[in-house]
Amino acid sequence: MLRLLKKALEVGEATVEYPFKPIEVAQGFRGKPAYDFSRCIGCGACATACPPNAITMDCDLERGIKSWNINYGRCIFCGRCEEVCPTGAIVLSKEFELAVIKKEDMYCRAELKLCRCIFCGEYFETFREIEYVREILEQVGLTKKSSESRVQFLKVCPKCRRHKVARIAALSNWHVDLNGRREENGTRS
Amino acid sequence: MEPEAKLQELKAKLKNVIKRSVYVYRVDCGGCNGCEIEIFGAITPVYDVERFGIKVVSSPRHADLLLFTGAMTRAMRLPAIRAYQAAPDPKIVVAYGACGCSGGIFHDSYGVWGGADAIFPVDVYIPGCPPTPAATLYGLAMALDLLQQKIKREQWVEKEVTPVLPKYEGVDPDLAKEIEREARRLSGYLYGRRIAAQYLEFVREKDPLAVDRKVKELVKQEKDPRLAEILLNLHKIYMERVGHDAG
């Protein structure tokens, strides 16, 4: 009996004082994905990578908005979003106290503005992503003059871009052969 | 009295009565048993939920609180309903784990009906895959009104366009990409990104000789041979590129 008491005193208390005092989580603990709205460009890499589809993206073409949604109730804390994020907008924090009473509190939503295509006028990409690409092109060292036309070219949607490139190629190489057909295309569209 | 209001009143009364003696019955509706392991982790002496009187019992007839773990599968929905009906009213229902909250990674499987909330009225959701014993403790304490909820629904709207700048300001993006890729190849995305950021801090100097001196100094001081190796590898990429540009 005494020996047991002595042993117990030697070992001390094993129980953590958690709810009364904050607990220190292990190094590299993957908790709630902390979202930094000011760094998000809305590229959708995280939504593509997310295994349980906790992160989803949606386009509202009426309002010109791309929305980013996360459901913490579905998140499996794998960290794939952090791995693929090009700007570091999403980082897994150490927060683990995520219990909620209402399901709505587990959701997080962000809305990014979409840019219109300068030719067809349809929404196609977020302003932030275009700005981000422009910034990178500038850093790579494009001259001011050529980057000006490139900036304009960034605001062309993939569909129009394909049309333009095809038209330029056709005009420059097979001007005579395709001249008639080009007009045909023009009338059809 | 409205049935909903009456239920709330009964639940408040129940919480008042069971204060320091809460019997928990857990129902596995078709999960991977990770959540069970964490629940049993929570009743070990380290986390010791029994100091709050929370006890895991083996029959739903004794239970005040039902823990539904795992996605609600088609095959387990009837046993889950039986367990729910066997528990005496009023009872507290807790959806446990990512699967219990919303179906988790199995949400689009053919045999899954969603989370526990697809069938039962849930009082508290404890997300996590699996929730750690500390998160379990927090969630159960919240179910018993001992602690307050911490997270809230968040919503951001972009009012005016604010540009996002690339991560490594002032470094050639091609070089930054190559350095980060190599660092991630050698040490994984988490440490790779940190090491790449650390290295690119030096590169910002622009003067290759100064960069070379500083990196060599850092490598000499570094006690972890793995980190020194990675830094040297990154440095090789940088020096090759600089040499190429000069030549």
CB contact under 8 A, A52 and B117: no
pLDDT at A35 over 90: yes
Q: A24-46 as b/e, with b when 16 or more CB fall inside 10 Å?
A: eeeeeebbbbebebebbbbbbbb
The two beta strands, B65-69 and A55-60, are unpaired
Spatial separation of the C-alpha atoms in residues A29 and A14, rounded to whole Å: 21
Q: Where do the H-state alpha helices sit in chain A?
A: 2-11, 45-49, 80-84, 127-140, 144-154, 158-173, 175-188
Encode pLDDT of A109-153 as tens digits.
999 999 999 888 889 889 899 888 888 888 777 656 566 777 788
How distant is the Cα of A151 from the closest Cα of chain B, in angstroms?
A: 14
List the domains of chain B with CATH numbers: 6-143 (3.40.50.12280), 173-241 (no CATH)
pLDDT of residue A144: 61
> pLDDT higher for A169 or A92?
A92
What does residue A98 show for φ and ψ, rounded to 5 degrees?
-110, 0
CA–CA gap between residue A47 and residue B215 (Å, rounded): 37
- Kindly report the pTM of this predicted structure: 0.85
A87 at interface of B, judged by CB pairs closer than 8 A:
yes
Q: Please name the residue of chain A whose CA is at the shortest distance from the CA of residue B93.
A: A101
A residues 45-84 lying closer than 8 A (beta carbon) to B: 51-53, 71-77, 79, 82-83
Dihedral sign (CA B210, B211, B212, B215): positive
Q: Look up the ipTM and state it.
A: 0.83
Query: A84-120: per-residue pLDDT in tens?
Result: 998 889 999 999 999 999 999 999 999 999 999 988 8
**Residue B158 to residue A38, Cβ atoms within 8 A:** no
Handedness of CA A123, A82, A89, A99 (dihedral sign): positive
Q: Which two tokens stand for residue B160?
A: 């005016």
Q: Each residue of B150-176: pLDDT tens digit? A: 888 989 998 888 888 888 877 888 888
Coil, helix or strand at residue A125: strand
What is the distance between the alpha carbons of residues B117 and B54, in angstroms, rounded to a whole number? 23
**Residues in chain B within 8 Å Cβ distance of A87:** 164, 166-167
**B210 has pLDDT over 90:** no
A138 at interface of B, judged by CB pairs closer than 8 A? no
Residues in B closer than 8 angstroms to A97, CB to CB, are 135, 138, 150-151
Mean pLDDT of B185-202: 89
Predicted confidence band of residue A78 (pLDDT cuts 50, 70, 90): very high
What residue spans of chain B are helical by DSSP H? 3-18, 34-42, 77-86, 97-102, 133-143, 173-203, 208-221, 225-246
Tell me the mean pLDDT in the region B130-135: 92
Higher pLDDT, B162 or A41: A41
Residue A34 touches chain B, beta carbons under 8 Å: no
Contacts of B101 in chain A (CB under 8 A): 73-74, 103, 106
CA atoms within a 13 Å half-sphere pointing along the CA-CB vector of A141 = 6
pLDDT of residue B164: 84
| 8 Å CB contact between B238 and B175 | yes
Q: Kindly give, in sequence order, each residue whose CB lies less than 8 Å from that of residue A143, ignoring residues fewer than 6 positions away.
A: none
**Residues of A with CB below 8 A from B105's CB?**
51-52, 74, 76
Chain A CB contacts of B104 below 8 Å: 52, 74, 76
Cβ contact B135–A37 (<8 Å): no
% of chain B residues with pLDDT over 90: 45
Nearest to A101 among B48, B124, B154 (CB): B124
Task: Quickly state the pLDDT bin for B12 (edges 50, 70, 90).
Answer: confident
Sequence-ordered list of residues with C-beta below 8 angstroms from that of B229, at least 6 positions apart, any chain: B186
